[in-house]
Amino acid sequence: MTYFIDRRLNGKNKSAVNRQRFLRRYKSQIKQSISDAINKRSVTDVESGESVSIPTEDINEPFFQQGQGGHRNRVHPGNDQFIQNDRVERPQGGGGSGGAGEGQASQDGEGSDEFVFQISKDEYLDLLFEDLALPNLRKTQYQQLTEFKTHRAGYSANGVPANISIVRSLRNSLARRTAMTAGKRRELGSLEEELALLQNSEPAQLLEEDRLRKEILELRQKIEKVPFIDTFDLRYRNYERRPEPSSKAVMFCLMDVSGSMDQATKDMAKRFYILLYLFLSRTYKNVDVVYIRHHTQAKEVGEQEFFYSQETGGTIVSSALKLMDEIVKERYNPAQWNIYAAQASDGDNWADDSPLCYDLLAQKLLPVVRYYCYIEITRRAHQTLWRQYESLQEKFENFTMQPIREQEDIYPVFRELFHTKV
């Protein structure tokens, strides 16, 4: 007969360790769920946590089955209500394998096809921007821009079980046991020597020998009561995010707000730029961001006006490129700054202005920027600006462009543009 009883309470950090193990094991499914979830959010709601769902067929776990024969009474781990030999009432509606938890309907017609859990804001952003970086970032001057990287930082008395240092913990255990029992062991050695002398002496001193044996026994019991390991001994590998000096960088955000950009198109452009802003602010401590809105005229604006202003008009894309060139010459010396740009437009432009955009990029901007990406947001066929930019992509390695047709394309395109090249 076998008994299984586990009445341990969950440790302080036990669930945290299991959670991290779960996130690592099902990272691909979670990232796919996040990619789907981000498209359902409002423009201003990208920085909070998320409820993530995973199909049950993707989270099958190994399990043990009982062998043939024998009688077994079990109390499952985590139980805080029952003890051995308690009787548990059979659930209403019967039991057995299969059911609502495995994608089948229950007796009341309801079922569950997916496993749903909540991830925090930090977990959400970590997975959202994993393996992303500014392309072609070079070290110019060690000022302003600070990138955070995780480093080992010694040992800590607190931590999660996954980071426990066995060698350091056992070393502390040995030191503690030595300190607590050293005096008793010296006294024990003296008593044992004294007992040996009495046993070899004539005549025998039985009463004195009994006293010494009793004291020796008591000392050994006290030494044995000292625990081999104590929570005081435990040491955990400590990690911390340290700022590392890197190069100065500036990101130019150029957004078309002309009349051809309807509200849905503008919202998709804003989603892209919000993702870009979160990526920069989370990965790098200080990065200059220059916001430029344009229709027939271009204007440098603040973050609030860039995302929420209702100003509109005709379309002259070259006005934004001219303004960017002026700002670069005035404030951002290419010898000292890594210059990046992201341009979002529906591609609609005056026919005679598109060749001017080509010349501005080819002769003035692309020679000085590290990376320039163009995003065309339209459901129609590629517009004049796209066709003009295609020849740029063939000539300049630091220029790339991607189309966005639906809201679901935003995050995959963003990852494609800033994915770390191996």
Tens-digit pLDDT profile for residues 71-105: 666 666 666 777 777 777 766 655 444 444 444 44
Mean pLDDT, range 207-236, rounded to an integer:
86
| Number of domains present in the structure of the chain | 3
Same domain, 7 and 120: yes
State residue 161's pLDDT score.
79
Kindly state whether residues 54 and 183 are assigned to the same domain. Answer: no
One domain for residues 348 and 314: yes
- Domain containing 171 equals 166-233
**Within a domain: 258:** yes
What CATH number is associated with residue 310? 3.40.50.410
- If asked whether residues 41 and 175 sit together in one domain, one would say no
Cα 244 → chain centroid: 19
Predicted pLDDT at 22: 66
Q: Kindly report the pTM of this predicted structure.
A: 0.55
pLDDT grade for 345, boundaries at 50, 70 and 90:
very high
Say whether both 195 and 275 belong to one domain: no
**pLDDT class of 205 with cuts at 50, 70, 90:** confident
pLDDT of residue 230: 86
Of 92-96, 168-172, 265-269, 377-381, where does mean pLDDT reach its minimum? 92-96
Q: What percent of the chain has pLDDT over 90?
A: 16
For residue 167, give both structure tokens.
């060698």
Amino acid of residue 77:
P
Q: How far is CA 49 from CA 41, 109, 121, 124, 414, in A?
A: 11, 31, 4, 6, 20
- pLDDT band, very low/low/confident/very high, at 364 (cuts 50, 70, 90): very high
Residue 307 belongs to a domain: yes
Does a structural domain hold residue 141?
Answer: no
pLDDT tens digits, 272-330: 998 888 888 888 777 889 999 998 899 999 988 888 887 777 888 999 999 999 999 99
Is residue 346 in some structural domain? yes
The predicted pLDDT at position 40 comes to 58
